[in-house]
Structure 1
């Protein structure tokens, strides 16, 4: 029983760290990448902008928005008596 408790505690800790610290860290990485992509006054070196920075920034923001949308979908689907299934690559709503 105690081993099951610590196993579940580890899973909760991992998800908490990933979502609690990982998403804000990914968002801040996106902000930094957008500053690198803008260049000029956004950078301390006043170097010209890099298109790679903008692409990385948009990718970071897209991942954060996808995680938020997935979280909202799980919460709303549970309220309507459905669950989100990951049996296929695309998440689908399945009746409970």
Structure 2
């Protein structure tokens, strides 16, 4: 029974990370692009509203932070052994 509970516990973690990085980040990026059109006149290339710009900046910041954290997690052993930088 312990094997089953360990497997299910690991499975939900893998599914959660897969959804976050596999579909979540592109969806947040698309939401940021969509928020740039908030406040513009339909059918025109007008400037976005201040709320649209703020939403886009927030979405893009989340994506950038997630990408940077992922790269740093992959490089943490290299950074620690080569430069004595301990990120996490």
Query: TM-score under structure 1 normalisation?
Result: 0.72
- Superposed CA deviations along residues 50-92 of structure 1, whole A, max 9, x for unmatched, are 110001001100110000000000011133447xxxxxxxxx6
* Larger RCO, structure (CA 8 Å, separation 6 or more): 2
Bigger strand share: 1
Bigger helix share: 2
Query: TM-score under structure 2 normalisation?
Result: 0.78
Classify 1:48/1:66 alpha carbon distance in 2 versus 1 (closer, same or farther; 3 Å). closer
Alignment partners' CA distance in 1, 2:48 and 2:71: 35
Q: Which runs of 5+ in 1 are unaligned?
A: 83-91
Q: Which runs of 5+ in 2 are unaligned?
A: none
Q: Alignment length, in residue pairs?
A: 82
* RMSD, aligned α-carbons: 2.4
